[in-house]
Amino acid sequence: MDYELLTSVMRRAALEAGDAIMQVYAAADFDVRAKSDDSPVTAADLAADAVISAALRAAFPDVALVTEEQAASHMVQATTFFIVDPLDGTKEFVQRRGDFTVNIAYVVDGMPMRGIVYAPARDRLFYTDATGQSVEETAPFAKDAVGNLRAILVSEPDNAALMVVASKSHRDQATDDYIAKYRVRDMTSAGSSLKFCLVATGEADLYPRLGRTMEWDTAAGHAVLAGAGGLVVRFDDHQPLTYGKPGFDNPFFIAAAPGVVLESA
């Protein structure tokens, strides 16, 4: 893989998808319909999916593509593939809360090697560069020129005073019970894959997810966190979370800075 080209293509595709999303977001009203699994989908999801799929297929025609919005792609069986959530956090989008993201990841042998997370309403852009180091690019974003970059790195956590981030839309008692096992300084909430990015930048130390997710929800954020020195492990046995599983369903998981002493399930 030409990682310089990959970074360029994924970055531009994410920015163009963000433009498509924000056009719908700016409208006075938009339709929301339910998919077969009862999750919401909007014209923004579909427009962003079309932009990203076209860009990846044009640049990398031989790499398999899995995307949330194309059911046929869910039958892909490959060890190397792209996995895309064109609009993660549709509930945040519908409620106009801003915490929605564009997510593109490149998976090799079960691990997300490269990824990009773009939050167009928040003007935050995180991705792995050609070397695999995670960076945050500062707005404004030009499609043909990379702006100011800063390498991002996970925190060196104080296990007596952890900063925890949890889901805005999917918080439950089981999550609260697990968080209660830690000594927590403060908590914040965020939508979509931004939670991974807050751990990647050191704005949080720990993100536990005790709820259903799909691989396209997590792969890009996982890649960004890994490129910043973080880890994502299964909740039950603390083994690495892997990709390309049957059906693309994830188990419960924990994302953290490696200095966090993880509690058992």
Examine the pLDDT at 35 and tell me if it is beyond 70. no
- Greater confidence (168 vs 207) lies with 207
Q: What is the mean pLDDT of the chain?
A: 93
For residue 4, what pLDDT band results from cuts at 50, 70 and 90?
very high
Residue 175 is labelled as binding a ligand: no
Beta-carbon count within 10 A of 202 CB:
18
User: What residues does each domain of the chain span?
Assistant: 3-151, 162-256
For residue 40, what pLDDT band results from cuts at 50, 70 and 90?
low
- Greater confidence (69 vs 224) lies with 224
Q: State residue 171's pLDDT score.
A: 74
CATH architecture of the domain formed by 3-151: 2-Layer Sandwich (3.30)
Please, what's the largest Cα pairwise distance for the chain?
Answer: 50
Of 193, 171, 232, the residue nearest 86 (C-alpha): 193
Q: State residue 133's pLDDT score.
A: 98
Q: Residues, the chain, total?
A: 265
Residue 87 is labelled as binding a ligand: yes
The highest-level CATH class for domain 162-256 is: alpha beta
Q: What is the pLDDT of residues 68-124, one digit of tens each?
A: 988 788 888 899 999 999 999 888 888 888 899 999 999 999 999 999 999 999 999
Residue 205 is labelled as binding a ligand: no
Residue 186 is labelled as binding a ligand: no
CA distances from 163 to 171, 225, 262 (A): 16, 16, 14
What's the predicted TM-score (pTM) here?
0.94
Helix or strand holding residue 257 (H, E): none
Residue type for 235, please? F
Tokens 């956090």 -> residue: 89
Residue 227 is labelled as binding a ligand: no
